[in-house]
Amino acid sequence: MVNLVLLDIDGTLTRDRSTEALDPDAIAAIQEIAGNYIIGLVTGNALIVTQALSRYIGLPKGSPLIAENGCIVEYRGEVHELCEDLNLKEVALRLMKLIPGLRPTYQFNYRKFDITLWAPRDPHELVGVVMAELREMGLDSKVRVSHSGYALHLQPANSSKAVAVRYLCGIMGVSCNDVVYIGDSDTDVDVMDVVGYGVAVSNATDELKRRARIVLDKPSGRGVADFLRNYLPRL
């Protein structure tokens, strides 16, 4: 029996993987089932953004939230910090001086552990350049570098959404086997091995679709809406 439904945001609740605009049908579907399931958000966004989205989506107060790619968990208004504070904002400021075009995202000042930057260049190339600079700083073993498709992320190496989902299940007293998780990107891959029902939208990355238990036939928000209405009640 499903006790908890966890939803990624960018690329999952949005219209597609190239926009931050939320899909209205996905939001409507969430509101339709909110009285029957505990629903939470799991995202790389800052906690303040995640809190705001939770309220405007229509989730009840105290709903479970995971922010900064697993570094922060909030449940029933209590905040749990899971990551080591490596002062990555200072590292980011150094990187911005070394790499032309690298600049902070709009959430930069509201983040503590997972720091986001943006540059107008190929994501894979950007990750490689940043990793090379971190090796020069002697930080390559302590900092994970990734690109969500929306921004470059610098976060403590031992942090992940999977770690946070396990922690959340523990404080909620819920078996991870009874959890549905829907995502779209490589930052969601490890969660597929933690929950009972790992779900990938149809336009998810290839690696996520390989690891997911269920692959939807519709993309992003449309896939979420279809799953919540037509498949979730059967689980």
Question: Residues of 87-113 as b/e, b for ≥16 C-beta within 10 angstroms?
Answer: ebbebbeebeeebeebebbebbeebbb
Q: Are 231 and 223 in contact (CB under 8 A)?
A: no
Provide DSSP, 6-35.
EE--TTTTBSSTT--PBPHHHHHHHHHHTT
For the chain, where are the alpha helices, taking DSSP H only? 24-33, 47-57, 88-98, 123-137, 161-172, 206-211, 220-230
* Active-site annotation holds for 8: yes
Residue entry with tokens 């921004």: 151
Q: Which of 68, 54, 69 is nearest to 112 (CA)?
A: 68
Q: Work out whether strand 214-215 and strand 65-67 pair parallel, antiparallel, or are unpaired.
A: unpaired
Residues tagged active-site = 8
